[in-house]
Chain A
Amino acid sequence: MSDKRLQEDLVSLTEYAVDAQGRQLKLPPAKVKAALPAVAAIAAKNNDQQIPATGGGIASPLTETDIADRTYHAAYYTSTDGLIQIPAIASMKFTDANSAEVMLEFDSPP
């Protein structure tokens, strides 16, 4: 056989040590990615937010909205001597410290 042929055949048997194009035949180890651990998020209430302890209830003090808002019962309180009759308040309207409307309602005199 010719020397050239033998040489080519021998080369073809051994050349795998490197790729014909010098390409990387073995990949480097893959980059190890960081684990994805458990995470937590905590959010505290902002101190500058004046959040009342509850969302409801009547906040003192109560301030009457307008004396004209008062309503009266038809019946009167009458003095024992029968000379004086005092109007009996039926309802009064107030606003509390949170500007919420508060209504007081009273019974009619006997």
Chain B
Amino acid sequence: MGTRYWREVVVLDGVDVSARLTDDGVTTSAEEGGQGIFNLTLKALPGSVNLDALRGKAVTVSYQTRTAGGTILSTELLMTGNVDLPRYDPGRKTISLRCTDRRDDRIALLSKAAIDALTPGAKWSSDVFESEADSFQYASDRLRTLPGALDCEPDGDIVYTAWAAASPHITFTASGIFDGEPPVQVEVAPASSIRNRTVLELTYRYEISYQREASSGWTYSQSTCQYLATPTTLPTRDMARRAAEGLSGWLLRSMSFTPLWPTGTYACSPDVNFINNQPQLIIGYSAVWVKRWTQTIDEIITVTLSSTQSISTYGERRADKTGSMSTDFDVEDYEGPSGNNQAAALSSVGGDGASGGSLGSGSEYPPLAGAVQNDWDDWRKEHTDRTAWAGWIETHIAIASVEHLASHRLNRAVFAVPLNPGIAVQKTLRVNSVGGVTCTGKVVAMTHVMDARTGEARTDVELALSRAGAAGVSDPLMAPTPPSYAPTPPPTVGSVHAGGNHYGQDGTSTTEDDAWTGYRGNYVPPLAVSPLVTFSDSLRVDADEIEAAVRDNTELPDTAAYEVAPPHDELSIAA
């Protein structure tokens, strides 16, 4: 063994056990987004070997430099962790310890608030990720939306480091890098691993509730004197109410009646004395109906993420994805279980409804809170959660963006340098013209090797080099403005129709048509006895259909585009 100017210092459970290290040496390895691992072997002390008690014990590995005379120049921490797996070799009487920096365990023990603090700017949506996820999964989910990693520093602290190369922490020239064939090996990833376009078809399903309010009624066609000269049958309050309430799918909000003229003397030349002893007869009624329904909207936003410089350099490498979310709304509760044919339970005002007064206060079946009237005069409300929607869409966009960035930094520069405790996965390194290679990138993997047998102490380094053809500018990944659905109303919006007068026994041969809206009665006595065509004595109310444009399931397409510009790290290779 030659003269060493360095020494590994291992502290196990608070005790410096460096003197017990075998010649196997110590190796510490760290990898971006993974657990740091280190292995060391101790000579067993005489007596019992308590392997079990070693598990979980704290361990630190430091690198100490010293002069030829043994004076300590520096001691620098390389890794902090715990014993994961101790093994005893009875032949050699050694104990080998496999240790980790417990990166995963440390994250798992963090609160979600602590994870949020470690990963600011991450997107997280319960419509993309699992709400019940544990802390480790939660952190992993957040990291899918961030171009960076959570790793342990040499002292064990968890820190977030962006993937993007920073200003170089250390620059190496030929004299600082071990010779090799070549000294700096550059490997670019296959073009097929690049993703520079992502098309996301994101469907958001929600309901629009509508409330249409229609007023109509029936008015007798004859004047008082006409009625007294040529009387006809007349409808009753009961008939009017039954007709108004019988309109399937429409809710009766209120109703009022015009009773038959009162007893009195009417100046009809000559005067006519008229006695009204039939208070149930009416010469008019008016009513307000309410129709409630819903419409399902599929808002389909096609989001395109493009890495333009990469596309023009490497050709389009595209992935298509879909995602969906929906906001629930209780359609049945709103529309009613069978097309809202709810019998109106209206209170009578000023009478019992059969012989006087009106029905309903007019405030029954109000529009939903927050509903606004559209061009159709319908009360309309979108049952959306745009906060959740924006979080969902931004999460999807962020994931795709991170995938673009990840796929552009699969290129590697690999080299070895004399052990440098300053190298860690948090650091950006630059190689300045070594073997023709100049490059800058963040460390993705590294191993400190302290070989006591050869006396060699070196650091193997792997840099990630992001290459995108050229530098570009990324767009902010904000949710787009959602499309709105506002169909043009027809010239006449569907409503309720109750008016109309049709009388038989009028001396004509006109026959009754069941489709007639309004009242159908007869002149009594007949205006002429031949021909004598008698009509039914009935009231009909008609409601138009609800237009398909506001009822049918509707797809609402829209598009949004974002530029994702992966970093274009320094890389040149001279032949």
Partners in one complex: yes
Using CB atoms and an 8 Å cutoff, list the residues of chain A in contact with chain B: 1-2, 4-6, 8-10, 12-13, 16, 19-21, 23-27, 30-46, 49, 51-58, 98-100
Q: 1/0 per residue B301-318: CB within 8 Å of A?
A: 000000000000000000
The binding surface of chain B is classed by DSSP as mixed
Instruction: Report if A36-B243 is in contact (Cβ < 8 Å); known contacts: A1-B462, A12-B403, A54-B524.
Output: no
B445 at the binding interface (Cβ < 8 Å): yes
In contact, A52 and B278 (Cβ under 8 angstroms): yes
Pick the contact of A9 from B250, B407, B539 — CB < 8 Å?
B407
Q: Which of A27, A40, A56 has the most CB of B within 10 A?
A: A56
Q: Hey, which chain A residues are within 8 Å of B538, CB to CB?
A: 42-45
Q: List 6 A-B contacts (CB under 8 A).
A: A10-B193, A31-B296, A33-B552, A43-B241, A43-B242, A45-B538
Which residues of B, 4-37, contact A by the 8 Å Cβ criterion?
A: 31-34
- The docked-state distance in angstroms from the alpha carbon of A46 to that of B234 is 12
B365 at the binding interface (Cβ < 8 Å): no
Q: Hey, which chain A residues are within 8 Å of B293, CB to CB?
A: 33, 36
B545 at the binding interface (Cβ < 8 Å): yes
Which residues of B, 65-88, contact A by the 8 Å Cβ criterion?
A: none
In contact, A2 and B274 (Cβ under 8 angstroms): no
- Nearest-neighbour CB distance to chain A for B390, whole angstroms, equals 18
Nearest B residue to A1 by beta-carbon distance?
B412
Q: 1/0 per residue B271-292: CB within 8 Å of A?
A: 0111111101100000000010
In contact, B33 and A43 (Cβ under 8 angstroms): no
Instruction: Report if A16-B319 is in contact (Cβ < 8 Å); known contacts: A30-B205, A38-B544, A44-B239.
Output: yes
In contact, B543 and A30 (Cβ under 8 angstroms): no
Which residues of B, 243-273, contact A by the 8 Å Cβ criterion?
A: 243-250, 260-261, 272-273
In contact, B205 and A27 (Cβ under 8 angstroms): yes
B324 at the binding interface (Cβ < 8 Å): yes
B233 at the binding interface (Cβ < 8 Å): yes
- The docked-state distance in angstroms from the alpha carbon of A97 to that of B93 is 130
Nearest A residue to B514 by beta-carbon distance?
A42
Q: Hey, which chain A residues are within 8 Å of B246, CB to CB?
A: 41-43
- Nearest-neighbour CB distance to chain B for A41, whole angstroms, equals 3
Q: 1/0 per residue B105-148: CB within 8 Å of A?
A: 00000000000000000000001111000000000010010000
Instruction: Report if A45-B239 is in contact (Cβ < 8 Å); known contacts: A26-B324, A36-B551.
Output: yes
Q: Hey, which chain B residues are within 8 Å of A13, CB to CB?
A: 193, 195, 319, 403, 406-407
The binding surface of chain A is classed by DSSP as loop
- Nearest-neighbour CB distance to chain A for B151, whole angstroms, equals 13
In contact, B239 and A39 (Cβ under 8 angstroms): no
- Nearest-neighbour CB distance to chain A for B561, whole angstroms, equals 19
In contact, A39 and B247 (Cβ under 8 angstroms): yes
- Nearest-neighbour CB distance to chain B for A27, whole angstroms, equals 4
Instruction: Report if A5-B445 is in contact (Cβ < 8 Å); known contacts: A21-B129, A25-B323, A45-B235.
Output: yes
In contact, B244 and A41 (Cβ under 8 angstroms): yes
Of all A-B residue pairs in the complex, the 7 with the closest CB atoms, nearest first, are A53-B524, A41-B246, A54-B231, A36-B546, A43-B242, A56-B274, A43-B243
In contact, A41 and B248 (Cβ under 8 angstroms): yes
- The docked-state distance in angstroms from the alpha carbon of A27 to that of B552 is 17
In contact, A42 and B553 (Cβ under 8 angstroms): no
- Nearest-neighbour CB distance to chain A for B464, whole angstroms, equals 8
In contact, A4 and B240 (Cβ under 8 angstroms): no
- The docked-state distance in angstroms from the alpha carbon of A19 to that of B323 is 8
In contact, B545 and A21 (Cβ under 8 angstroms): no
Instruction: Report if A43-B239 is in contact (Cβ < 8 Å); known contacts: A12-B403, A20-B129, A54-B231.
Output: yes
Nearest B residue to A99 by beta-carbon distance?
B277
- The docked-state distance in angstroms from the alpha carbon of A102 to that of B195 is 101
Instruction: Report if A45-B545 is in contact (Cβ < 8 Å); known contacts: A13-B407, A30-B298, A100-B277.
Output: no
Nearest A residue to B543 by beta-carbon distance?
A39
Pick the contact of A1 from B187, B203, B546 — CB < 8 Å?
B187
- The docked-state distance in angstroms from the alpha carbon of A30 to that of B31 is 46
- The docked-state distance in angstroms from the alpha carbon of A27 to that of B327 is 12
